[in-house]
Structure 1
Amino acid sequence: MSDEAHFHLSGYVNKQNMRFWGTKNPHEMHEEPLHPLKVTVWCGICSEKVIGPYFFEDGDGTTVTVTGERYRHMLNNFFLPQIAELGLEHCWFQQDGATAHTARATMEILKRQFPGRMISRFGDLNWPARSLDLTALDFFLWGFLKSRVYRNKPQTLQLLKANIKEEIANLEPDILRATILNAVKRAQMCINSEGGHLTDIIFSS
């Protein structure tokens, strides 16, 4: 499983790419800086380890938007060499339906690397939209990191990135195995409920 998240220096983590708009105004205001300092982090997770973090940034270390070209650069120069080194070439690969992930050129790279083993929009198995409760990074990793990386109140992006790297490196294998088992359990519950809400597991995990 793979995904990106924004970690703001202020302590806010944006891990959701989609929003649901209600019919009623809640009369609440949420203020944020116009251009907050943040890092954009990509990670892959399996039962053996977290692959990453990979930070989307330019040569000067400035955070950049995830485009198809930049995503392909990450795949070719970071992710694929990593899985080759780990001997994971025959694993399945999952990603969400973000445009950068599913551009034609991107999918050609992924389908060539994972023939018949792509879980994605336009992949061998279609990944459902708005499925945050099924993805190990959303229901575990991003929240876990948020609870850890801001403890020492990092004042620079460099310190924030160092904290993210350290906490990922310190993750125990037992936690990762339990997380993937949880993901499988959630997927089965989704199948059993024919795509309905996972009420039981959302409030018990």
Structure 2
Amino acid sequence: MWFTGEAKFYVNGRVECNNLIYTHHRKPDEADTLPHKIVKKYAPSNKPYITVWCAMNSEIYIGPYFYNGEMTPEIYKENLEKFVKELRYITSETEHPIFIHDDSKIHSSADVTAYLEKEFPHHWVGTGSSYANWPRHSPDLNPVNFFLWGYIKSRVFKTPIQDGNLDELKERIQNAFKNVTKDLLEESIEDYKARLERVEYNEGNLVDATVYGEELDYSKIRAWGMYAWPYY
């Protein structure tokens, strides 16, 4: 199973992916009450950024691939072609990998779905698949989102990036990926399996049970859509 995803890395420390934002802000003061400091209205950033794409399973990752500006369906299809080419080098003809991406709008174009059906016939998960759809608004289930981007962010922004330097940002991201070990990947996939069990227990609700180290009752926060969840 190959989990995939793209994210915007901003020079100020903010990271955005589909339905999820890792903010650049510090933990709020203890006087601030929850959950109102958790669910925030989405506001786009005007800071410079680069778009990063990666695929991972329990053993290795492919990428990262870098793009300037927004990812489009056309660019995304070119990205997939690049990924498939690399994937063919490390898989045999008898293997049937399962490709997984989320419900982002750029993933649902006719060209993208046709290409995935050609390369992964009845073995891909996403919008338009005859195999399985990815559950909507569920970044808490994709290890690329709940593990990988947060891990990369934590290493990239240990110190501030000066003067909005995108070249430095790209270099830091590349170096951070070199620290993603097989053990980390294995642990994230095991966590994914545990999260599936928690989804059933929570009747489909969010499964990230702690924010700022405090337990939250997600039945009282039934908001998603264009909202940002500031995980740290």
Q: Please, what TM-score do these two structures have when normalized by structure 2?
A: 0.73
Taking the aligned partners of 2:193 and 2:168, their CA distance within structure 1 comes to 34
Name the structure where strand makes up a greater proportion of residues. 2
SS of the residue aligned with 1:111? helix
Deviations 1:131-186 (A, max 9, x none): 01101011111111111012243331111111111111221101101111111221
Q: Deviations over 1:63-104 (max 9, x none)?
A: 22111111011111x211111112176211111112221111
Query: Which of the numbers 98, 107, 111 marks the counterpart of 1:105?
Result: 111
Structure with more helix by fraction: 1
- Structure with the bigger RCO (C-alpha within 8 Å, sep 6+) is 2
Cα gap change, 1:159 to 1:184, in 2 (>3 Å):
same
Report the secondary structure of 1:36's partner residue.
Answer: coil
Off by >4 Å, runs of 4+ in structure 1: 28-33, 199-204
The answer to whether the aligner puts 1:50 opposite 2:67 as a matched pair is no
Partner of 2:91: 87
**What RMSD over aligned residues (CA atoms) do the two structures have, in Å?**
2.7
Deviation track 1:8-46 (CA, whole Å, cap 9, x = no partner) reads 111111234379xxxxx98x999876x311111111111
Is residue 41–residue 55 contact of structure 1 (8 Å, CA) maintained in 2?
yes
Say yes or no: does 1:167 pair with 2:181. Answer: no
Distance across 2 between alignment mates of 1:151 and 1:191: 36
2:150 partner SS: helix
Supply the distance in 2 between the matched residues of 1:100 and 1:32 (Cα, whole angstroms). 18
> Distance in 2 between the 1:32 and 1:95 partners?
23
From 147, 150, 153, give the equivalent of 2:157: 150
**Matches of 2:143 and 2:153, distance apart in 1:** 15
User: In the aligned structure 1, how far is the partner of 2:194 from the partner of 2:183?
Assistant: 16
Q: Does residue 137 of structure 1 match 2:144?
A: yes
Q: Secondary structure at the residue paired with 2:65?
A: strand
Q: Which is worse superposed, 183-192 or 155-164?
A: 183-192
The count of corresponding residues between Structure 1 and Structure 2 is: 190
Structure 1 window deviating more from structure 2 (100-109 vs 153-162): it is 153-162
- Aligned match for 1:5, one of 1, 4, 7: 7
In 2, Cα distance between the equivalents of 1:113 and 1:42?
19
1:102-139 per-residue CA deviation (whole Å, 9 max, x = no partner) reads 11110111111111211112211111111011010111
Determine the structure 1 residue equivalent to 2:197.
188
TM-score by length of 1: 0.82
| Aligned partners of 2:4 and 2:100 also within 8 Å | yes
